[in-house]
Homo-oligomer: A and B are copies of this chain.
Amino acid sequence: MAPSPVQQVLAALAPMLGERISRNDSIRTQHSHGEGWMRASLPEAVLFAHTTQEVSAILARCHAHRVPVVPFGAGTSLEGHVTPPPGAVSINLSHMTRILQVNPDDLDCRVEAGVTRQALNAQLRDMGLFFPVDPGGEATIGGMCATRASGTAAVRYGTMRENVMGLRAVMADGRIVDTGGRVRKSATGYDLTGLLVGSEGTLGIITEIQLRLHGIPETMAAAVCQFPTLGDAVRTAVAIMQMGIPIGRLELMDDVQMDACIQYSRLEGYRKLTTLFFEFQGSPASVREQVQIVEELAGDNGGLGFAWSESQEERTRLWKARHAAYWAGLAYRPGCQPLATDAIVPISALTELMIGVKEDIRRSGLCAPIVGHVGDGNFHTLILVPPEDGAYARALDLDRRIVRRALALGGSCSGEHGIGSGKMEFMQAEHGAPALDVMRAIRHALDPRNILNPGKLLPPVLD
């Protein structure tokens, strides 16, 4: 029998990769899924690449034999991005962990795709610098680029869109492309960097990234305030943003999430009420000015017991509940599986959306704590799905209701988790058929054989 396309690819790559080609079941299983709830599917093999040249050689072979490829970093995807389609190989980039350069004078650096944000920040700390995009998990910078990640610090520093200056990427046929550069702005041609950021492995495989860095602020302060109602808390957050206060972080936890956290972290001094968590950054004078304005705004909206501190220890204590939110949510309903939603709206619509979502949750009968990056208009409901028939369908139904509410209010179905396979059904409603056609034309132009993470991001054309 003739060797299959995958067998031909692996045979051709064996001299280069040797034992870094794995067909081991447990390795394949690790690469069969991210952290989301999508059906897992094994890759035919996992290839551990150590250099851009190796990724190029792998793609050239896969292109020649029409073998689909899925890039894999830390596997923290929530929307099925890394689940292989049938007959695919997974390319693991997590060994590409070199920090290639740090330019403190220009506030930028260059890293390989497998560097995690934690590893990068550990290296930068002594230089007084940091990379601000913080999606929570121990993600790789390459994966964060591919999904256009953001997180709790985006309210001040922006997302990967604003913090990636340039990329090296391998195209479908193996060509290596450098995009962008090291300047703060440029008006020279199409923004290929911006096109690849958020492309979820469908236009090219990102292997190196030039990142914008920031100086560690001179002063930081944290604050917490509880509110009688969800609406009071959201209105406070909206007022802060509308006043243009350069707040460092602005997070919300609803009453259910607070209940979970009080139990999980044995918090004292907190009530089961919607709570805002603040971080302030800047010079000592500007931090105090910000704290004072925010305290007044919170008071105007019914805030109860605004507490703040500049000391590191006290800041950690104040934010303790927020840091443990995910685990507290899981422990709140033992045996349940989490399904995270990711809606975002213009900030003026946030109060209406969140009040509506609370009602949707109540009607669903499911337990679903809310954690919000409310400064961005973005929040997650962590739907806790019980192990019973029909519960997953009810959770998906709740997710769809939330997305429909967000879209009706001029919002988006994903602030930061991306599309993968999990959110494809909403793409047409959010962007319209003409924009999807343009996206498809670009994808087809850059990957005519449809080998780059096929079946993700763009829904099939409906006849």
- Residues of A at the B interface (CB closer than 8 Å) are 103-108, 147-150, 154, 158-159, 161-162, 171, 175-179, 181-192, 194-195, 197-199, 203, 214-215, 238, 241-244, 246, 282-283, 285-286, 289, 342, 344-348, 376-378, 410-419, 423, 426-427, 430-432, 434-439, 441-446, 457-458
Contact = CB atoms under 8 A, between A and B. Distances in A.
Contacts of A283: 286, 289
B175 A434 contact: yes
Contacts of A417: 187
Contacts of A199: 190
Contact of A435 (B183, B192, B419): B192
A187 B243 CA distance: 26
Contacts of A246: 246
Contacts of A434: 171, 175-178
B183 A377 contact: yes
B415 A185 contact: yes
B187 A147 contact: yes
Contact of A348 (B103, B154, B175, B244): B103
Contacts of A184: 154, 344, 346-347, 376-378
A414 B346 contact: no
A400 to B, nearest CB: 15
A435 B202 CA distance: 17
Contacts of A185: 148, 150, 154, 158-159, 161, 344, 376, 378, 415-416
Contacts of A195: 190-191, 194-195, 442
A416 B185 CA distance: 8
Nearest to A284: B289
A413 to B, nearest CB: 6
Nearest to A343: B183
A456 to B, nearest CB: 11
A244 B108 CA distance: 13
Give this chain's copy count.
2
A453 to B, nearest CB: 13
B178 A431 contact: yes
Contact of A441 (B159, B241, B445): B445
A173 to B, nearest CB: 10
A446 B444 CA distance: 11
Of A179, A188, A438, chain B has the most CB atoms within 10 Å of the CB of A188
B183 A345 contact: yes
Contacts of A377: 183-184
B192 A439 contact: yes
Contacts of A347: 105-106, 184
B441 A446 contact: yes
A106 B445 contact: no
A404 B183 CA distance: 15
B103 A431 contact: no
Given A289-B285, A442-B446, A188 B419 contact: yes
A177 B438 contact: yes
A146 B175 CA distance: 28
A443 B426 CA distance: 27
A188 B79 CA distance: 11
A188 B244 contact: no
A443 B190 CA distance: 9
A421 to B, nearest CB: 13
A214 B243 CA distance: 10
A283 B291 CA distance: 13
